[in-house]
Chain A
Amino acid sequence: MLTGTDLRRALLIGLWFMFLTFPLLAIKVNPIEQTVTWRWANMLWVGGATTVIALACRFLQARQAARQERIRLGLEPPPATWNFALLREPRFALPLLGATAVFLLAFPALFSSYQVNIMITALMYVVLGLGLNIVVGVAGLLDLGYVAFYAVGAYAYGLLHLHFDWGFWTVLPIGGLLGALFGLLLGFPVLRLRGDYLAIVTLGFGEIIRLILENWSEFSQGPSGIANIARPGFFGFELSMEESLVYLYYLMIGMALFTVFVVNRLQNSRIGRAWFALREDEIACQAMGIDKTRTKLTAFALGATWAGMAGVFFAAKTTFINPASFTFLESAIILCIVVLGGMGSIVGVIAGALLLILLPEYLRAVAEYRMLVFGAILVVMMILRPQGLVAPMRQTYTPPR
């Protein structure tokens, strides 16, 4: 299947990448002591790996083309498509849901508190991903400053606790409301902007919030952050460190379920359909009589609400917050979750969050390469599978015959 030309091309690609990565990968200098370390092995690795990858791509392409040709000629039946709709049938769905529920409920009893901690983080990202999914996946507004609302929630709890000694349960709805308010604040001025400009403005907004938190020390205590934030209370009982972690875990499960429920209901509501319409075609959407302003603003506000509440949870979990937790990279991770999972798909976003947060925790060897892989995922998904791992299912109406 592979011809000599393919082999030559692959070798050329390997050589090109060896040239490309030569100064940065093969040489390491120490400008202070004026010494050079040559790392030729790296260069060979890059050359070999890219050649193999290029060959593999070429091979897969050729095989795919051959199969398509056979299907076209009727020599081979078309492949059976794996259908997620099967999972919706009660005989599969019920046992699966039951097993997941039992596993999640028994989790703190089965695993150490370290694992519980990681799971809480993953669930937090599920909530964040679902929130951003409203804005990016459903309404099609690329928001690169989502972490700003997360910061708003976290600082709302941190500051209100510090100054007024307000508790977790009081601040949770306030955090959500503040998030929504900031969402509106960002939403109003950017209503007129097109996709890519919108992305840059939201990025600027996110950075402005972080820089203000960092520099306005009288308000936010600057880079040193706020410490000793209280964990959520349990009807006035004193909880040990471990117990409060387990308690937080169950709260987080509740929060995630609540989010899934609301987001699911929203997507099939009038406003949800308006969001989908807005994503597909703004002009056609307006022509159908949908109020574009209101639709965009609700998307920003409702998306930001979840980030605000997740922020309160974050502050309660770590008991310490500072601006360094709310950089652009955090926004990029959440975006990566939504893109990997499938923009607009709830199941996809949950899977994406669990994959991206849990995998690096358990594969310590690759943890170092985490952000490198996240960047690559964004590129590769856009090229190979823009609809994400789990493509969203649109409800369709089949008229009775």
Chain B
Amino acid sequence: MEYFIELFFSGLTRGSIYALIALGYTMVYGIIGLINFAHGEMYMIGAFTALIVSTVLSIYGLPLLAILILTGLAAAVWTAAYGFTVERLAYRPLRRAPRLSPLISAIGMSIFLQNYVLLAQTSDFLPFPALIPDFAFMEPYAAMIGSTDLAILVVSTLILLLLTLLIKYTRTGKAMRATAQDQKMAFLVGIDVDRIISLTFVIGSALAAIGGLLIASHIGQINFAIGFLAGIKAFTAAVLGGIGSIPGAVLGSFILGLTEAFATGYVSSDYEDVFAFSLLVLILIFRPSGLLGKAAVDKV
């Protein structure tokens, strides 16, 4: 039973990280209909920025809490800046191009960013400091759920809540929903569509950066290539829930996280990644609209 609970919580932790990344995919897809292939790289850049900032700060001897907060902020801000720049350089000029052009551009951007980090930093795995301390009150439950898992769950739930509030109740959120529904119409009623699209990229990238920071301090090491697999898995989660739908992305992420945790715990860990890829292929073939998504209708 204890093993089951342990797996359950580890699945929840995985799921909440996937959710943080999957939201970026789903929001961008909802608004401009592009699979942002470079989104996994945002997560990787977030983790790297966090590593650099936290190491520098810890050398200057700041207290752990201050390091954690500053690192989170820095990672979110810089990664958001990357997201913004990528959109401006690689996607905005292609908004009216044929469907495949922005996708190829996104693949190019993904390769570019990976190799940029490889050249600017290193190709080796770097150890990532444990930024989240072991809480004393968690000791009795340590066998079932670790302190990092708890922190990841709490932080990501809070962020998801904030995002929902933003989208549901603010003016900006309303503008985002309007743009997702009909870009031209939103433009006609006076919404600055370009700004909304930029904002979507900024929010998505910042969420991915937080995800990168949390998972890196959980796993304890990073390298330049971690974005590819995490990106594909988060994309799987987004598609599973129905791409374009925000609750769908969260639901899909938790389903994927839990299934992965149980499959690796009870069956075998050799084919962990094959499992995620096969799931992706199967959903896309049999139910491309996902669990909560609307089926796309081609109009002639």
Contacts and interface: CB of A to CB of B under 8 A. Distances in A.
Interface of A: 16-17, 19-25, 27-32, 34-36, 42, 140, 142, 144, 189-190, 192-197, 199-201, 203-205, 207-208, 211-212, 215, 283, 328-329, 332, 335-336, 339, 368-369, 371-372, 374-379, 382-383, 386
B111 A374 contact: yes
Nearest to A188: B285
Contacts of A24: 45, 48-49, 52, 116-117, 120-121
Contact of A193 (B51, B81, B285): B285
A322 to B, nearest CB: 17
23 contacts: A20-B82, A23-B74, A24-B116, A27-B52, A29-B55, A34-B59, A189-B285, A190-B285, A193-B288, A194-B296, A194-B298, A199-B35, A199-B103, A200-B284, A201-B281, A204-B280, A204-B284, A205-B281, A208-B274, A374-B111, A379-B108, A382-B102, A383-B90
Contacts of B105: 378-379, 382-383
Interface of B: 34-35, 45, 48-49, 51-53, 55-56, 58-59, 74, 78, 81-82, 85, 89-90, 93-94, 97-105, 107-117, 119-121, 126-129, 228, 232, 235, 239, 270-271, 273-274, 277-278, 280-281, 284-285, 288, 296, 298, 300
Nearest to A21: B120
A290 B68 CA distance: 61
Instruction: Determine chain B's interface SS by DSSP, over half rule.
Output: helix
Given A23-B48, A372-B112, 20 more contacts: A20-B78, A22-B78, A23-B49, A23-B53, A27-B56, A31-B55, A35-B59, A36-B56, A36-B59, A142-B104, A144-B107, A192-B288, A195-B103, A196-B35, A200-B239, A201-B281, A205-B281, A207-B232, A207-B277, A215-B271
A8 B82 CA distance: 22
Nearest to A25: B120
The 5 closest A-B CB pairs, nearest first, are A378-B108, A375-B112, A375-B111, A29-B55, A372-B115
Nearest to A35: B59
B104 A378 contact: yes
Contacts of A375: 108-115
Contact of B93 (A22, A25, A383): A383
Contact of B284 (A23, A144, A193): A193
A140 B113 CA distance: 26
B7 to A, nearest CB: 22
Nearest to B229: A207
Given A25-B120, A208-B278, A383-B105, A371 B111 contact: yes
B56 A195 contact: no
B157 to A, nearest CB: 28
A29 B103 contact: no
A357 B21 CA distance: 35
A220 B103 CA distance: 33
A199 B102 CA distance: 12
B112 A211 contact: no
A17 B82 CA distance: 10
A14 to B, nearest CB: 13
A121 to B, nearest CB: 20
A332 B111 contact: yes
Nearest to A386: B101
A93 to B, nearest CB: 32
A332 B78 contact: no
A272 B175 CA distance: 46
A203 to B, nearest CB: 8
B84 to A, nearest CB: 9
A31 B274 contact: no
Given A29-B55, A193-B288, A375-B111, A200 B235 contact: yes
Contacts of B100: 140, 142, 195-196, 199
B51 A31 contact: yes
Contacts of A30: 55
